Amino acid sequence: MRGPRILLYTGLAVVGLFVLVTIFAPAVAPHDPTQSITNERLRPPGGGFLMGTDQLRRDVFSRVIFGGRIPLLVAIFSCATSLTLGTTLGWLSGFSGGWVDRGLSLVMDAIYSFPALVLAIAIVAMLGPGLANMIAAIAFVYVPAYFRVSRGQALVVREQEFVEAARAMGGSTLRLLVRHIAPNTLSAVMTVPSFNIADAILTEAALSFLGFGLPPPTPDWGFDIQNGQRFLQSGFWWLITFPGLVIVTVSLGFGMVGEGLNDLLNPRRRRSVG
């Protein structure tokens, strides 16, 4: 019983710290992330510059602090969109059955089978780079994850006696969905977002690493790593190491929250979840 709680609390601590630092970035960061603050370019970490400086003489530490803003924004908005869309479609599909269910399931399975990153890249490539398009692309590829969970739950709840009783008493479809199906499937659905946010942060990082994010000089971990890649062979390791470590930590934090929640909310499945 201790294991999952530790995972959950550690995860929550990491996530909480990240969210606070990101919101209060102007107060936490020692320098402006977009301004040259010294006359030494590519200065190694130490001596007033915790993580060194980049080729434009900017403070890497300040860029790392500010660099979480875009990923957090993209992750939250895309996750909220796919949660709403995927869960609603899943409820509808599982509840109504028949050809609606078969059709929707086929479409969702097809999208799910396709590499999420390739799909996201194709969408952003067609829509063009930028914040809204990145959110749309990431939201789209994660819809099936919510769809599957909420549909599966709706299928189970639909057959239960209290739903049958509500239907026998003349409850409308909408009422059945909102009053009975939705609340009873939420606990399973609610474990998805933290994994989803962890994944969305990685996808956002990948997209901005590949150049589909915001134009410079906006600080963004993925883009800063791409920038650092050019100097890697000359041995300037700090440009990529620090943004990357932060991505791993934050994504791991959300992942641990997901694991912990999963163990807590679905105790039946505890043994079966690796």
Beta carbons within 8 Å of 240's beta carbon, 6+ residues apart: 224, 225, 228, 229, 232
For other proteins, the binding residue among 8, 157, 182, 247 (CB under 8 A) is: 247
Of residues 214 through 243, those in contact with other proteins by CB under 8 A are: 222, 225, 228-229, 232-233, 235, 237, 240-241
CA distance 88 to 104: 12
Of residues 170 through 209, those in contact with other proteins by CB under 8 A are: 198-199, 202, 205-206, 209
CA distance 120 to 210: 12
- For residue 166, the minimal CB distance to other proteins (Å) is 34
Find out whether 258 and 191 touch, Cβ atoms under 8 Å.
Answer: yes
Rule CB under 8 A: is residue 110 a binding residue for other proteins?
yes
For other proteins, the binding residue among 12, 19, 21, 119 (CB under 8 A) is: 119
- For residue 26, the minimal CB distance to other proteins (Å) is 26
User: Between residues 40 and 109, which has the closer beta carbon with respect to other proteins?
Assistant: 109
CA distance 247 to 225: 11
For other proteins, the binding residue among 131, 252, 264, 265 (CB under 8 A) is: 252
- For residue 204, the minimal CB distance to other proteins (Å) is 10
CA distance 138 to 115: 12
Residues touching other proteins: how many (CB under 8 A)?
A: 49
**Per this entry, what is the length of the chain?**
274
Rule CB under 8 A: is residue 128 a binding residue for other proteins?
yes
Measure the N-to-C terminal CA separation of the chain; round to a whole number of Å: 15
H-helix or E-strand containing 136?
A: helix 131-158
**Dihedral over alpha carbons 212, 215, 216, 220 (to 10 degrees):** -50
- Chain residues binding other proteins by CB under 8 A are 3, 106-107, 109-111, 113-119, 121-123, 125-128, 198-199, 202, 205-206, 209-210, 222, 225, 228-229, 232-233, 235, 237, 240-241, 244, 247-248, 251-252, 255-256, 259, 271-274
